[in-house]
Structure 1
Amino acid sequence: MERSTRGAMAARSWLLLLLGLAGVLHVHGQCAPDSTGFVSIDCGQPEQAGRYVDAATKLPYVPDGAYTDAGANHNISPEYIKPTSSKRYLNVRSFPGVARSCYTLPSTVARGSKYLLRATFMYGNYDGLSRLPVFDLHLGVNFWRTMNITTADKPQLAEIIAVVPDESVQVCLVDTGSGTPFISALDLRPVRDTLYPQANATQALVLVDRTNLGLSGAAIVRYPEDPYDRVWIPWSEIDSNEWTEISTPEKVKELADPRFNAPSAVMQTAITPRNGSRSASSRTIELSWDAAPNHAYPDPGVIGIVYFAELEAVAGAAARQFEMAINGKLWSKAPFMPQHLVCDAFFNSEAHRGFGGHYNITLNATANSTLLPTINAAEFFSVVSTANVATESKDVAAMAAIKAKYEVKKNWAGDPCAPKTLVWEGLNCSYAISMPPRITRLNMSFGGLSGAMPSHFTNLKAIKYLDLSYNNFTGSIPNALSELPFLVVLDLTGNQLNGSIPSGLMKRMQDGSLTLRYGKNPNLCSNSASCEHTEKKSKSMLAVYIVVPILATVVIGALALLLLIMRKKQGSKKGSVKPENEASGVHSQSRNGDTHSLLQLDNRRFTYKDLQVMTNNFKTVLGRGGFGSVYDGFLADGTQVAVKLRSESSSQGVREFLTEAQTLTKIHHKNLVSMVGYCKDGEHMALVYEHMSEGNLEDKLRGKIVIVDL
């Protein structure tokens, strides 16, 4: 603030306000007003220290461990500790190495109520660096103010009056790269909803100055004198040559207008110009303030409130009458006459802009006034927007539950999605105009998560991509995941899940609306009809995996030889062969010009398009071999299959392919995988097998279970 040419406010920052002194509070000893809903937090106070009562206000302060899960506690340096220092300034909580750290305070009255929130900062060289930091404060998802810590030995305050729309409100410290954020104390005070109408659902009031104009050396006035624990700072630079101090012991009544109110202890003092001449300069009070611009508000809008009460008995023809102006523009439509021992206020309803945050008020005595202007108190605010919308509350609740269950540290503080520059690690969000952001992607792969999959993930109703791969989840897959309407990719690879894939997920995989990745879950099977308890299978499966490949090799070799002999004998029999292109009934030429006939196959034939559908366009590779790659697939009835697709580089020709296909169609054994069908569609050749969920012999011998080429 700057002193104007005539009687301006002193050039001081009220934010250096309490001076750490407990004994300067002005208290009359009356019964304390109701403090229901007050939250008073000593930041950095060890939990084992417990609560204590502040010596000045008699309000209880508690440690901050219940309100934040980040940061570290520190004591200020001994040279900054004074006998009169308030206890809450002796320690701080700092937040090094993180972009945003937050306190979550309860909305102690009701949703949509109005609160005063106050944060206090006493550096005291707690870190031994003698480096004063600069950082930002946010109220929820909205910018509050920049904290520029300018002194190590005095506390600085930030205060805001705002509507809290939810069940809680977050106060966040944001690292801007100019030193480590820290905090000493944090207060929340409910205020009457009718007070400060300029604070509403879309904007809040950030305090620049709150001054008690009156007796020099007067005490600070706050709770219990002020039922809302507003802090009224005495104007310490009253020039007795310029100003006359007026006071009364009589109680000043509250303003009938419920929108504004100052406590009687503040209204019982006032100032008036000392020079009683009728010259224009001596009949004027001029006060000015400046709201400092910042990176969010280079031209801040400002709100001023001035309080008046006539403290002297005006008799006979005497009159105190004056006009008011803001930055030279007339404020009052008619001359103002303060009422005797009744609080009154003038204010601007809309933010005053266009003057770079400068705010100048002038009180001019009218020609008919026999007494000079007077003023008792003033408040000055800058206006900030609270229109930024927080993330959908159900998404926030789900993420809070996930964070708590798995004790996630990362940068998970504050709102998950807002502002966009501080979105949580591993999240993507959608941002629709005038709608809450929604979480659309969550990646918690390699997160060390264990136990059964909690229901919290199923509460993210807008999620599209959910990656929980390479954790240690156990138990079954929740079928409720299939009810997430927008989920298109679910990655559960590399866990310890068991049982079968739920029918709801299976159905969505079949209709192409969901890609499910579930490999490297050794106890998970895709066909519920074939699922057995792991305990029953463990003793017999190793023998099966050793015997089956040997048996299969012998049987296939013998049958192949037998088929070749039979084919020579029956080569001319009618109906024993079909043209290579079965659909058209014509022969086709191989690349070397030889004509080959197709063997008659009894199994189901698929087209290449069929293969694309059942494998989701060959999405998941189970393994690779000399013939080609093996892909994970599902038939229309939900049966899981393995599709072995011949690669262009394969040395296996059409005849070899058909011979193998026909041989395998004749083999049926409980310990051998069955061939479901084949594809010969132009140059595309493939074999479709029953899915072998337990892996092959090589995997068993090596102790690693994966799905590979059959």
Structure 2
Amino acid sequence: MERLTPGTMATRSWLLLLCFAAAATAGLLQAHAQPDSNGFISIDCGLPGKTGFADDKSTLYFVADDGFTDGGAYHNISAEYITPGLGKRYHSLRSFPDGTRNCYTLRSLVAGLKYLVRATFMYGNYDGLGKPPIFDVYIGVNFWMMVNISDPAGSTLLEAIVVVPDDFVQVCLVNTGTGTPFISTLDLRPLEKKLYPQANETRGLSLFGRWNFGPTSDTTFIRYPDDPHDRVWQPWVSPSLWTEVSTTRPVRHIDEDVFDAPTAVMQTAITPLNGSGNIEFAWVPYVQPKDPSPGYLAIMHFSELQLRSSSAVREFYINLNGNMVFSKAYTPPYLYADAIFNSDPFLRYTQYNISINATANSTLPPMINAIEVYSVFSTATIGTYGQDVSAMMAIKEKYLVKKNWKGDPCVPKTLAWDNLTCSYDSSKPARITNINLSSSGLSGEISSSFANLNALQYLDLSNNNLSGSIPDALSQLASLTVLDLTGNQFSGSIPAGLLQRVQDGTLNLKYGNNPNLCTNGNSCQPPNKKSKLAIYIAVPVVLVVVIASVTILLCLLRRKKQGSMNNSVKPQNETTTSYVTTNVSHGHSSSMQLENRRFTYNELKKITNNFQRVLGKGGFADVFDGFLEDGTQVAVKLLRSQSCKQGDAEFLAEAQILTRIHHKNLVSMIGYCKDEKYRALVYEYMSEGTLHEHIAGKRNNGKYLTWSERLRIALESAQGLEYLHKGCNPPLIHRDVKASNILLNAKLEAKIADFGLSKAFSPDNDTHVSTSRIVGTHGYMDPEYHATMQPTIKSDVYSFGVVLLELVTGRSAIMHDPEPISIIHWARQRLARGNIEGVVDGHMHGDHDVNGVWKVADIALKCTAQVSAQRPTMTDVVAQLQECLQLEDGRRAMSDANNSYTGNNSNPNSSYSMYATDQSTDVSQNSGTIDMEYNFERIPPTATGPAAR
């Protein structure tokens, strides 16, 4: 058995590296990252200035990376690693010591087209530290590969085939805390749509290896111009095992060819050294933390190179780990390129053994010309809407913004740009809805690109040095509800379109402290007194007087117990601080108004059939089943008449909050009742009850949730909390997150409920909320909050961590084992011993991926850290749970179909751990259903060449 030893692997890696210096095509790259006449982009990362050079072995022109990225620093590798044969492209690199994510943007592409993207990384001890880094690489918003360089003299190559959704693509390096990311070269090559059908809009191919069998020298690399797509074909030479076969005659391609292997590759092949033997080789998976079980696709290229006599037969079977992967015996066509390939990944193995065996009828040994092996990775994550991205990139370039504005503005959420708010829909691209660039040092005119953000609701450009006229194009942004231009140097008049929007009540325009802006003439004023133009002198004084008067009046009326109440619900907080809230859905600043339906007590009696069916009981209220006039089922939460002031305060707080928060993972309020002494809230009906009931097996006839269902419920609940923390203005702390406050509808979709204890806080000035009493539920309560009486958003994170542990274990927050013990302490004790199976809920009957359960348990333990600063944010939790759910969905699909794609798989070319095996090993030729599992296909040839004579 021949294996690639570390020495031979290093040699082959160096030879591959040398070959990359001989790249392929003519013409200069134009300014700002334009492809050349072939559509190629070839970048020498770290080459200073705007210089470039032509490769001395080809006509391909390499350009500096100026114009492709706006961060990082130039470096040269250490002199000791610059050898005479090392290509010039690898002498320099660019490192990115600042920021978490840094990206290269490749422009002028064709949306929907396939591209080959290739990046190389040669450390060469450029920083003198002798510590090669580890970091992640993304294509667009999708994780591609972790780069882990172990040898300063070696290099890592990544190559992928992807469908580009927009007219640009970004390649991003992400710092994971284990060294400074860097890059040596970056290439892009267009591919025809028909090529590599396994790659599509949701799945990319990451190269594991591409080998050419049969060359007589292990330095004979084939790439452009022999390969018009500039793929690199590495020679595989094993003269002790194989006999090389070759021809000088051209090998033709059929019209339906979907791989277009170059003639130079197809003109060589191998057969066994022993004419009666087999061809055998194998590869070992490249495993990494985010991809512990990669799935592989293989493309085997065949062409008969020898003119056979009429009696000669070359016929063979192809086997993987002893199982047939093509349902019948195969005969390669004479001087025509043919391929056998699988469309979906193989089943997962610890080693992949390929054996090509002659049939009993064959008079000639088996042969093969070349093979390509790819792992698959998900490209299903949708980035920000392309027009929004282009607009923000133009805005960034105009104002030279130096924030974390790198890569996609909104996705992934953990790397979203500062000062932006985005809306997310799993089936649609994210949209930019809020931009806050107040006091950001902006100067010049307002960029016309703002007018291209047609989902924008809130734009704050206040307190900058912007000048010129206010563009009327902003009035065409139909979703824009707040435009703050105060504190700038604008001149001229307010455009008529904006004034019209102000008049019809769809826009709140603020323009104060612009000394050169015309505001006195008729042409500058709003058409009538209903204008919302902000006047910042008299209005605040009037508001203060009015609010104070109303507050005093309400207190007097309450003390006299006068029964009538107006339609405004004032915030009843534990402190005396009052605030003006913002309607998140519409962006208007106003005092809170209940806009839902108002019910009378008699109406509630009617829709609940005199409060006949109780759905649940709380500390201050009962929940009843009801039906509206149109048949809509609802839940009615009725405050008990004898409840104390605390219950009344929580009712008012919940009513106020529910009028301004709207999210798919928060329970919606349909209406309310304020009828003399009766208080009630009417909610959407959640037919499947509480998560607590499902964990305890008290719903669905005792049927327990599957692991996939638990993951989805966890993710949806986390998204609801994330919205409270980031999407609300002001943000909210729930303060009573627990399994019984997570409700499920008929589709088992999760929604957070019970906002009676929620508190608002200012994210700019406060890190916590001061309270006069501790509230919450035993077992879920943040110990730091309990000690300080100051809840934070990390208090909700702690409680959610307990919910995650309940989902993993199927146990309650406080257990009796036999003495009372927190689920956190119970789980930590067992997980510290590596005993995940002793923690996981047995009711799932093992139908889960152990790695996925471990990851969720780890998230839960991080959420329940004693010190709040060590806990993740809910945005971090959402991102990690999304990864867990994607992995689990892939596992279940693979389990159902025995052959399906899980995503997030990729492997480095430099890990070429493929090897030929000892031919004395006999691999049986099994027939049967394996062919269906692997779904191997063959290009249908339209001709077989001249008949053998």
TM-score by length of 1: 0.69
Q: Aligned residue pairs: how many? A: 537
Matches within 5 A, 1:168-567: 168-218=168-218, 219-236=220-237, 238=238, 240=240, 242-254=241-253, 257-277=256-276, 283-355=277-349, 358-509=351-502, 512-524=505-517, 526-529=519-522
Equivalent position of 1:116 in the other structure: 116
**Per-residue CA shift, 1:35-85, capped at 9, x if unaligned?**
72122111111125x221112333111111122222111111111111111
Mean CA deviation greater in 423-432 or 8-17: 8-17
Structure-1 separation of matches of 2:46 and 2:6:
35
Native 8 Å contact 1:22 1:55 kept in 2: no
List per-residue Cα deviations over 1:190-242 (Å, max 9, x = no partner).
Answer: 22322211112222211100011224533111111111111111114x151x3
Instruction: Give % identity.
Output: 51
Measure how far apart 1:252 and its partner are. 2.7
Q: Is the CA contact (8 Å cut-off) linking 2:10 and 2:154 kept in structure 1?
A: no
Q: CA deviation at 1:305?
A: 0.5
- What's 2:792 paired with? none
Matched residue, 2:100: 99
Q: Which has the larger radius of gyration?
A: 1
Indicate conservation of the 8 Å contact 2:23/2:58, yes or no: no
Change (3 A) 1:308 1:488: same
CA gap of 1:275–1:411, structure 2 versus 1, over 3 A, is same
Structure 1 residue 404: Cα displacement = 1.4
* Aligned partner letter, 1:43: C
CA displacement, residues 373-404 of structure 1 (integer Å, 9 cap, x when unaligned): 11121100011222222322221222122111
Letter of the 1:221 partner, please give it.
I
Deviates more, 1:380-389 or 1:469-478: 469-478
Which is bigger in relative contact order (C-alpha 8 A, separation at least 6)? 2
Quote how far apart the aligned CAs of 1:115 are.
1.7
How many Å separate the matches in 2 of 1:400 and 1:15?
41
Q: Structure 2 unaligned segments of length 5 or more: list them.
A: 25-35, 552-949
> Given the superposition, is the C-alpha separation of residues 343 and 429 from structure 1 closer, same or farther in structure 2, using an over 3 Å criterion?
same
**Alignment correspondent of 1:541:** none
1:25 and 1:126 map into 2 onto residues whose CA distance is 23
Q: Aligned letter for 1:270?
A: A
Query: 1: distance between equivalents of 2:434 and 2:14?
Result: 46
Superposed displacement of residue 620, structure 1: 7.6
Q: Could you give the per-residue CA deviations for residues 413-433 of structure 1, whole angstroms, max 9, x where no partner exists?
A: 222122222211111111123
* Native 8 Å contact 2:19 2:221 kept in 1: no
Structure 1 residue 499: deviation in Å? 4.6
| Alpha-carbon distance between aligned partners in 1 of 2:20 and 2:344, rounded to the nearest angstrom | 38
Check the 8 A contact 1:143/1:296 in 2, yes or no.
no
Q: Secondary structure at the match of 1:457?
A: helix
2:444–2:465 contact (8 Å) kept in structure 1: yes
* Contact kept? 1:115, 1:190, Cα under 8 Å: yes
- Judged with a 3 Å threshold, the aligned counterparts in structure 2 of structure 1 residues 275 and 184 are, in CA distance, closer, same or farther, namely same
Contact 1:3/1:288 (8 A) holds in 2: no
Please give the secondary structure, in 2, of the residue aligned with 1:266. Answer: helix
Distance in structure 1 (CA, Å) of the matches to 2:550 and 2:338:
92
Deviation at 1:21, TM superposition (A): 2.6
Quote the residue 1:630 is aligned against: 541
Amino acid at match of 2:167: E
1: CA distance between counterparts of 2:67 and 2:75?
A: 17
State the 1:406 CA deviation.
0.8
- Given residue 227 of structure 1, which amino acid in structure 2 is its aligned partner? P
- SS of 1:234's equivalent? strand
- Counterpart CA distance in 1 for 2:211 and 2:550 is 86
Whole-angstrom CA distance in 1 between matches of 2:425 and 2:349: 34
Gap change, CA 1:254 and 1:645, over 3 Å in 2: closer
- CA apart distance, 1:161: 1.3
Provide the secondary structure at the position in 1 that maps to 2:483: strand
> What code does the residue aligned with 2:18 have?
L
- Describe how 1:603-642 pairs up with structure 2 within 5 A: 622=537, 630-631=541-542
Q: Secondary structure at the match of 2:373?
A: strand
TM-score under structure 2 normalisation? 0.52
Q: CA RMSD in A?
A: 3.5
1:454-485 alpha-carbon deviations (Å, 9 max, x no partner): 32222211111111111012234334333322
Give yes or no for contact 1:16–1:157 (8 Å, CA) kept in 2.
no
Q: Deviations over 1:632-673 (max 9, x none)?
A: 8xxxxxxxxxx97595699xxxxxxxxxxxxxxxxxxxxxxx
Match of residue 38 from structure 1: 40
> 1:369 is matched by which residue type in structure 2?
S
Match of residue 935 from structure 2: none
Match of 1:147 in 2: 147
- Which structure's residues are more often strand, by fraction? 1
Instruction: Report the CA distance shift for 1:166/1:3 in structure 2 as closer, same or farther (over 3 A).
Output: farther
Separation of aligned partners in 1, 2:436 and 2:547:
35
Change (3 A) 1:23 1:137: closer
- SS of 1:44's equivalent in the other structure is coil
Distance 1:364 1:73 in 2: 53
| C-alpha contact 2:502 2:532 (8 A) present in aligned 1 | no
- Partners of 1:366 and 1:531 in 2: CA distance: 90
- Residue pairs, 1:587-598, within 5 angstroms: none
The change in CA–CA distance for 1:508 and 1:204 in structure 2 (over 3 A counts) is same
Distance 2:464 2:239 in 1: 71
Matched, 1:89 2:90: yes
Cα distance in 2 for partners of 1:216, 1:648 equals 95
Distance of aligned partners of 1:339 and 1:498 in 2 relative to their CA distance in 1, 3 Å threshold:
closer
Give the residue type in structure 2 aligned to 1:436: P
* CA 1:22–1:513: 2 relative to 1, 3 Å: closer
Cα deviation, residue 527, structure 1: 4.7
Secondary structure of the equivalent of 2:398? helix
Kept in 1: contact 2:316–2:358 (CA 8 A): yes
Contact 1:54–1:61 (8 Å) recurs in 2? yes
- Alignment CA distance shift 1:341-1:645 (3 Å): closer
Distance, in Å, in 2 between the alignment partners of 1:409 and 1:101 is 12
Task: State the alpha-carbon separation in 2 of the partners of residues 180 and 60 from structure 1.
Answer: 28
Q: Deviations over 1:241-275 (max 9, x none)?
A: x3323333333333554112322222232222223
**Is the 1:214–1:270 contact (alpha carbons within 8 Å) kept by the matching residues of 2?**
yes
Partner Cα separation in structure 2 for residue 509 and residue 530 of structure 1: 14
For structure 1, list consecutive stretches of 5 or more residues without a partner in the other structure: 28-33, 278-282, 533-610, 633-642, 651-710
Describe the shift of the 1:328–1:9 C-alpha distance in structure 2 as closer, same or farther (beyond 3 A).
Answer: farther
Matched residues in 2 for 1:382 and 1:45: separation? Answer: 32
Distance 1:153 1:19, change over 3 A: farther
Q: Distance in 2 between matches of 1:22 and 1:10?
A: 18
Letter in 2 for 1:187: D
